[in-house]
Structure 1
Amino acid sequence: MASTRITLDHLLMGPAVAFTRPGSRSAIVKTPYTGAVQVAENGLLGDEQGDLRVHGGPEKAIHYYPREHYAAWAEELGAHPLLTQAGAFGENFSATGWTEQTMCLADRVRVGSTLLEISQGRMPCWKLNDRFQVADMALRVQQTGRTGWYFRVLEGGVVKAGDQLEVVERPYEHWSLSRLSAVLFSKTVELEIARECLTLPLAASWRRTMERRVEKCLIEDWSPRIDGPAREVEA
């Protein structure tokens, strides 16, 4: 198990603005905030999401991305300007010491005066492709398992950079985020494992996915999420 306590190096927020494809909006560009921030059910007050159908809300209130992944991405992508500072992946929390291998579904975490709970891993989408200008970036994030994760807010309060994040409860120690994502992103349906996943406190969207797999024994089509809408064709 990783250290139960680490330091929140960066707290990041950003506004929703017009993005790269027709009609799209995004708040993936997050910048560090140095003061204290109020945390409520939907996350950091002052932070925004561009498409509330698939981002934000109580089950995706705060996004954590492990800073140690940046070195692995730099090895794969080269000297990419986005990798020089925190916020490349649209994360709200940036810290070192926890990864998808060491954190588990439903881990409860104290930070500042808040109590958070890991609700799900991130399902990467096409906006990462456009942000990094790497055509298959979302697929790479999915295949490597370097997705980061989301917290839901159990008790609101105040957080700031420099606060300690501490795991205070771990009810599902055998279900690391990396294990759960491996099931979710598998190309085959293993019914026994899918049924076991349905005994976990899955976020609603993940539960629907597993229920459909058990019912139909089919893997869903990821291409709309990974590839996104068509770009405008230049004349």
Structure 2
Amino acid sequence: MKLLSISTGTVAPLFGNHHPNYPSVASAINKRSISNTQNPTSIKIHSLGVTGDEQADLSVHGGMEKAIYVYPIEHYAFWNKLLSQERKVAVDLPLGAFGENFTFEGLLETMIYVGDQLVIGDLEFTVTKLREPCFKFNAKMGYKGAAKAMLQSGFSGWYLRVNRPGFVTAGASIQLIPGQRVTSIADQSQALLQRRNQRDLWE
């Protein structure tokens, strides 16, 4: 289990025709990798997330309970194939493409439970909840079905609370310390899918 990339982004206009009332909205979903295995720069993590990272709407992103958004590298192949079919051109998404701060290798939603602890170098985190996609994710992906596809696939990623801040570098190993293990991120994703009644996500 490894931290492959650390990404940040700043608030900027996000354009797209993916919501009837919002042709352009503010978002920081466009993130770039500032530390990765090819360029393993040490990055400071504080209680509200990665230094230099921003969030446009603190009611749904950011804050202490959603300080870090994690996405597994294993899901990139799914999205590259889906978007290649949709756009009729080969897609190879860069690290940070989903608006994630941390790109992980070796941990999936089925393996992570709310309350689990993660130790990366000298830093400690707690798993808090899944990421709930919205129309901004559709705009970012350039595909109106992206949010629905994320829900159906269960490839949501999850948020972390920062328990012990400090400096971390891409390439660091991840230690998982299990909590009570009552509700997994996959469980939360399935419950959200049922609640929204969006089982057919490919329309």
- TM-score (normalised: structure 1): 0.72
- Give the deviation of 1:97 after TM superposition: 0.8
Aligned-pair identity in percent equals 33
Per-residue CA deviation, residues 32-56 of structure 1 (Å, 9 max, x unaligned), is 1132222121111111112222211
Work out whether 1:8 is the aligned partner of 2:26: no
Work out whether 1:51 is the aligned partner of 2:52: no
Write 1 or 2 for the structure with the bigger share of helix: 1
Q: What residue in structure 1 maps to residue 102 of structure 2?
A: 93
Distance 1:49 1:80 in 2: 30
Match runs of 1:22-61 below 5 Å: 24-34=25-35, 35-61=41-67
Q: What residue in structure 1 maps to residue 12 of structure 2?
A: 17
1:11 corresponds to which letter in structure 2? I
Per the alignment, do residues 56 and 31 of structure 1 end up closer, same or farther by CA in structure 2, a change over 3 Å counting? Answer: same
* Coordinate RMSD, CA, aligned: 1.9
Work out whether 1:62 is the aligned partner of 2:68: yes
2:33 corresponds to which letter in structure 1? P
Per the alignment, do residues 56 and 103 of structure 1 end up closer, same or farther by CA in structure 2, a change over 3 Å counting? Answer: same
Q: Secondary structure at the match of 1:25?
A: strand
- Give the deviation of 1:80 after TM superposition: 5.2
Q: Count residues in correspondence.
A: 183
Q: What residue in structure 1 maps to residue 134 of structure 2?
A: 125
Distance 2:34 2:80 in 1: 24
Distance 1:96 1:105 in 2: 19
- Give the deviation of 1:17 after TM superposition: 1.0
Runs ≥4 in structure 1, deviation > 4 angstroms?
A: none
Match runs of 1:1-235 below 5 Å: 6-20=1-15, 21=22, 24-34=25-35, 35-78=41-84, 79=89, 81=91, 83-167=92-176, 169-187=177-195
Tell which has more relative contact order, 1 or 2 (C-alpha 8 A, sep 6+): 2
Distance 1:180 1:77 in 2: 25
Per the alignment, do residues 80 and 105 of structure 1 end up closer, same or farther by CA in structure 2, a change over 3 Å counting? Answer: farther
Higher-Rg structure is 1
- Give the deviation of 1:110 after TM superposition: 0.7
Q: Which runs of 5+ in 2 are unaligned?
A: 16-21, 36-40, 199-203
Q: Secondary structure at the match of 1:185?
A: helix
Contact 1:38/1:159 (CA < 8 Å) preserved in 2? yes
- TM-score (normalised: structure 2): 0.83
Distance 1:110 1:42 in 2: 17
1:182 corresponds to which letter in structure 2? Q
- Give the deviation of 1:178 after TM superposition: 0.4
Per-residue CA deviation, residues 70-125 of structure 1 (Å, 9 max, x unaligned), is 112223232553x4321110011112211101111111001122110100000011
